[in-house]
Structure 1
Amino acid sequence: MLYTMKDLLKVAKENKFAVPAFNISSFDILKSIIETAEETNSPVILEIHPLEIDYVGDNFVSVVQEYALRSQVPVVIHLDHGADIENVTRAIKNGYTSVMIDASHDSLEDNIAITKKVVEMAHSVNVSVEAEIGTIGNNGSSEGGSSEIIYTDPEQAIYFVKETGIDTLAVAIGTAHGLYPKDVTPKLNIQLLKELNQKLDIPFVLHGGSGNPDAEVSESVKYGVAKVNISSDVKSAFFAELSKQLVENPDVYEPFEVYTSANEAAKKVVKHKFTVMNTIGAAKYYK
């Protein structure tokens, strides 16, 4: 079942669960995520970053759409961190049901101006829009971010949402893209999130969801977070197992022999994330 982000997260927010948004950059990762969503009866968001679509190509989206349309669980196809109108237009033409425009590094005025243009264009064809206030950190991820986290200002956020008409808001409360160094323990600013949730009636998005303590992610769902972006945790598990198989079985060349255990490693992470966000079984709310 193919959904817009607006419709998907409205239900999630009302029923106090979040939907993980997994970055898909290969067929096997896509397959692992969809299979786990269906096995656990969990709604899911499949998101593609501009660098990922450059790699897999526009035709890959038709495969993603086919999976979504045939699936028995709600699925959203989302553009992750669209940097400009060109990224957004490409995503809409490819059939995404949700787009993110990320002008968070620009001035507030410029962020509002470009976001309003995207909202006008996307809403005219029933595509949802996510935008960001504040900046996410970066642990060396290709998805970008800032060397210094700028926390979301509640008053700016109120003004931004009112002026732009966005459907979901990515908030900066202490997360970073990529995997955290072993000596770093991330800490979410739950008090700030509570304040934002009191002042805004809009689903929040937590970017950089990999590596954060499960208890904090679960707590964030209580205060308006309805979408959590996951990329590095799934990919690192997938490729660690893939590397192990290739070293242990250097003569294997059939894809179904090479990738099967890597897919299972990815599926374990996906199922765990569904559990943390109270998503397992939540497809029942969309019947």
Structure 2
Amino acid sequence: MLMNMADLLKVAKENKFAVPAFNIGSDQLLKAVMKKVNELQSPVILEMSPDEFRFVGYSQIQAMIYEATRTNVPVVIHLDHGDTYETVVKAIQAGMTSVMIDASRLPYEENVAITKKVVETAHLANVSVESELGTIGTTGNSIEGGTQGVIYTVPAEAKQFIEDTGIDTFAVAIGTAHGIYPSNMKPKLRIDILDQITEEVTIPLVLHGGSSNKDEEIAAAVKHGISKINISSDIKSVFYKKTREVLNANPDYREPLEIYPEGMKECERVVEEKCRLFDSVGKASLYTK
């Protein structure tokens, strides 16, 4: 069941669960994610960064659409951290049902201007728009980027930004970073800032950079108003770790059907962990009432 983000997260917000958003950079990851969410009857967001989009091309989007139209599980296909207006337009043309424009590092007025332009274009195609104010940090090992350190979202500014742009979903900066945290980084979510934001805004809220945060922090963020959580590094790291093990143990393997199945199983394991942590298991039924 293919739908846009606004419709998907409206239900999640009302029922206080979060939809997992998995970055899909290959067909193996797509198949692993869809196999598990179908088993769990969990809504899902299939997303990719601009770099991933440029790498896999339009054909991967068509594969996502194929999967979405052949399941009763709600599916959104989303551009994560769209870098330019032109990239967003290409994503819409490719068939994505949701886009993010990330101009959060620009001055406020410029951020509003480009975001509003994206909203006006996307809404003509019934495509929802995500944006952010404040900046997600980076651990330095993720293609999603970010800053060295986190610029926290100011709740009152968030409310004004949403009013000024007309976006459908809002990504908060409350202490996460993209990528896997090195041992010397100790992430901590600012649930107090999240509570202040939920008092100011009414649209669904998104958490980026959720890899490596403590499960209890993520669960608390869901209970306090997060409706979508992005996961990229967690599924990719286990998939490729297991794939390397398979290749090291079997250096003569050359067939994808020999190389990838064990890595896909590891990906499925993490997908299930996240769906249960976000309380999205079984929630597909809420979209057919």
- Aligned partners of 1:145 and 1:182: how far apart in 2? 19
- TM-score of the pair, normalised by structure 2: 0.98
Which residue number in structure 2 is paired with residue 163 of structure 1?
A: 164
- Aligned partners of 1:243 and 1:182: how far apart in 2? 23
Q: Which amino acid aligns with 2:175?
A: G
Aligned: 1:277 with 2:278: yes
Which residue number in structure 1 is paired with residue 266 of structure 2?
A: 265
Which residue number in structure 2 is paired with residue 59 of structure 1?
A: 59
Q: Which amino acid aligns with 1:252?
A: Y
User: Larger deviation: 247-256 or 165-174?
Assistant: 247-256
Which residue number in structure 2 is paired with residue 178 of structure 1?
A: 179
User: Larger deviation: 95-104 or 137-146?
Assistant: 137-146
User: Larger deviation: 111-120 or 177-186?
Assistant: 177-186
Aligned: 1:238 with 2:235: no
Which residue number in structure 2 is paired with residue 114 of structure 1?
A: 114
Structure-to-structure mapping, 1:1-287, within 5 angstroms? 1-140=1-140, 141-287=142-288
- Aligned partners of 2:210 and 2:150: how far apart in 1? 15
Task: Provide structure 1 residue ranges, at least 5 long, that are not aligned to the other structure.
Answer: none
3-state secondary structure, aligned to 2:64? helix
- Aligned partners of 2:84 and 2:56: how far apart in 1? 20
User: Post-superposition shift, 1:236?
Assistant: 0.2
Q: Which amino acid aligns with 1:52?
A: E
1:190-246 per-residue CA deviation (whole Å, 9 max, x = no partner) reads 000011111111111100011111111111111221000000000000000000000
1:96-120 per-residue CA deviation (whole Å, 9 max, x = no partner) reads 0000000000011111111100000
- Aligned partners of 1:45 and 1:252: how far apart in 2? 33
3-state secondary structure, aligned to 1:59? helix
Could you tell me the percent identity over the aligned residues? 53
Report runs of 4+ in structure 1 exceeding 4 Å deviation.
none
Please tell me whether the aligned partners of residues 130 and 166 of structure 1 are also in contact (alpha carbons under 8 angstroms). Answer: yes
Report the number of matched residues.
287
- Aligned partners of 2:183 and 2:286: how far apart in 1? 38
User: Post-superposition shift, 1:252?
Assistant: 1.6
Q: Which amino acid aligns with 2:267?
A: A
User: Post-superposition shift, 1:184?
Assistant: 2.1
User: Post-superposition shift, 1:182?
Assistant: 1.8
- Aligned partners of 1:170 and 1:116: how far apart in 2? 16
Please tell me whether the aligned partners of residues 202 and 224 of structure 1 are also in contact (alpha carbons under 8 angstroms). Answer: no
Q: Which amino acid aligns with 1:21?
A: A
3-state secondary structure, aligned to 2:30? helix
3-state secondary structure, aligned to 1:215? helix
- Aligned partners of 1:246 and 1:144: how far apart in 2? 30
3-state secondary structure, aligned to 1:228? strand
RMSD value, Cα: 0.7
3-state secondary structure, aligned to 1:221? helix
